[in-house]
């Protein structure tokens, strides 16, 4: 049983697509990869998706908050795209259900790429190589918006290697993780209570018993690791103004490849995993002293020792894809 659960193909990407015409294929992913790296998707051919989602940084940009086209800060940190295909809500506030919906949001966003999907389609339909690649996949004479969205989404669905040291360990290679990482895993699922929200094996948040939803939580995150000022971003609450429990709630993201994606949290305010651990160890926002009626994270300090914190951080490094 454990072998199946930790197998490289344990998760079916098509369980997360909006319909059967969106089914995953390697051909779609390969075309999506080209477009992901092509500035053709932005208004003045100035940026591509990879401008803010850099492969070496697990598809983040290393900045606290991404920069807009006018070089001012956007409101949030660029999340990793690895394993983003296996969640039922996209963006920190889950404002889109699936990856297809997500890409049109970003392309047309004035600050991010300021692209016009219809103009982009004209460019693509005039581009011999792209046009014939789309035709081969979808068998239609002209590329349509949903097809562009679908190939980009397919590429992102392919970014799930399941080949970290943790995966190798769970598949039976007992030397793939060191002693500190093993202790860290036991703390992660035990004393530190991380796995209450970051579910093994994707290490993201989901809702049992059917796991068909992605979970949001309220941690009471501060504007930065000094933990002095509460971050007022309403998160999901922006779309549910009358629901008190959703104010300042954010998606529980995957922790896979987390070692490559500093800085952390929706606001990129926490520079290191140690700062993140310090926040959790104090009981989150409430534990620090912020007034947050609806915090879902326990505010009881975890009382982790320095050694225990080191072990948990070491364990998180075992989640890097090789």
By CB under 6 A, tell whether 86 contacts ligand HEC. no
- The least CB distance from residue 173 to ligand HEC, in Å, is 24
By CB under 6 A, tell whether 194 contacts ligand HEC. yes
Nearer to ligand HEC, 138 or 230 (CB): 230
For the chain, how big is the Rg over CA atoms in Å? 20
By CB under 6 A, tell whether 37 contacts ligand HEC. no
Q: Which of 193, 213, 223, 310 binds ligand HEC (CB under 6 A)?
A: 193
Q: Which stretch binds ligand HEC (CB under 6 A): 16-24, 117-125, 138-146, 252-260?
A: 252-260
N-to-C CA span, the chain: 24
**Which of 218, 214, 207 shows the shortest CA–CA distance to 294?**
218
CB-based burial, 209-232: b 16+ in 10 Å, e otherwise: eeeeebbbbbbbbbbbbebeebbe
Q: Which of 17, 82, 103, 181 binds ligand HEC (CB under 6 A)?
A: 103
HSE toward the beta carbon, residue 258, CA cutoff 13 A: 27
Beta bridge partners of 214: 206
By CB under 6 A, tell whether 53 contacts ligand HEC. yes
Contact status, residue 247 vs residue 292, Cβ threshold 8 Å: no
Q: Which stretch binds ligand HEC (CB under 6 A): 11-19, 46-54, 135-143, 239-247?
A: 46-54
Distances (CA, A) of 245 to 76, 219, 293, 300: 21, 12, 8, 19
How far apart (Å, rounded) are the C-alpha atoms in residues 308 and 104?
Answer: 43
Nearer to ligand HEC, 112 or 165 (CB): 112
Q: Which stretch binds ligand HEC (CB under 6 A): 1-9, 11-19, 79-87, 119-127?
A: 79-87
By CB under 6 A, tell whether 206 contacts ligand HEC. no
By CB under 6 A, tell whether 288 contacts ligand HEC. no
Instruction: Return the biggest CA–CA distance within the chain.
Output: 63
**Which of 174, 16, 7 shows the shortest CA–CA distance to 84?**
16
- The least CB distance from residue 155 to ligand HEC, in Å, is 8
By CB under 6 A, tell whether 319 contacts ligand HEC. no
CA dihedral 320, 210, 208, 235 (to 10 degrees): 70
Kindly list the residues in this chain that would bind ligand HEC in the complex (CB under 6 A). 36, 41, 47, 49, 51-53, 66, 74, 76, 78-79, 81, 84, 90-92, 99, 102-103, 106-107, 112-113, 152, 156, 192-194, 196-198, 217, 219, 221, 250, 252-253, 255, 258, 261, 264-266, 273, 276, 280, 296-297, 312
């Amino acid at each position: 049983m454990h072998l199946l659960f930790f197998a490289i193909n344990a998760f079916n990407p098509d369980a997360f697509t909006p319909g059967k015409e969106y089914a995953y294929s390697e051909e779609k992913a390969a075309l999506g990869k080209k477009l992901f790296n092509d500035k053709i998707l932005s208004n003045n051919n100035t940026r591509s998706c990879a401008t803010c989602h850099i492969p070496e940084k697990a598809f983040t940009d290393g900045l606290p908050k991404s920069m807009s086209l006018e070089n001012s800060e956007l409101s949030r940190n660029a999340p990793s795209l690895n394993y983003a295909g296996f969640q039922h809500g996209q963006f920190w506030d889950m404002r889109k259900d699936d990856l297809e919906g997500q890409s049109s949001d970003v392309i047309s966003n004035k600050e991010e790429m300021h692209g016009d999907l219809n103009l982009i389609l004209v460019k693509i339909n005039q581009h011999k190589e792209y046009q014939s690649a789309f035709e081969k996949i979808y068998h239609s004479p002209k590329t349509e918006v949903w097809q562009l969205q679908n190939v980009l989404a397919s590429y992102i669905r392919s970014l799930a290697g399941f080949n970290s040291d943790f995966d190798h360990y769970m598949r039976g290679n007992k030397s793939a993780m060191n002693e500190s990482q093993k202790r860290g895993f036991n703390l992660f699922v035990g004393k530190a209570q991380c796995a209450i929200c970051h579910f093994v094996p994707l290490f993201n948040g989901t809702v049992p018993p059917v796991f068909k939803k992605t979970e949001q939580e309220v941690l009471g995150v501060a504007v930065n690791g000094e933990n002095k000022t509460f971050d007022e971003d309403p998160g999901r609450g922006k779309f549910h103004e009358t629901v008190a429990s959703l104010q300042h709630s954010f998606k529980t993201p995957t922790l896979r490849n987390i070692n490559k994606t500093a800085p952390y949290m929706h606001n990129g305010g926490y520079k290191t995993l140690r700062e993140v651990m310090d926040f959790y160890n104090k009981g989150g926002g409430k534990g620090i002293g912020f007034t947050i009626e609806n915090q879902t994270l326990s505010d009881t300090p975890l009382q982790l020792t320095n050694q225990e914190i080191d072990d948990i951080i070491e364990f998180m490094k075992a989640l890097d894809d090789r």
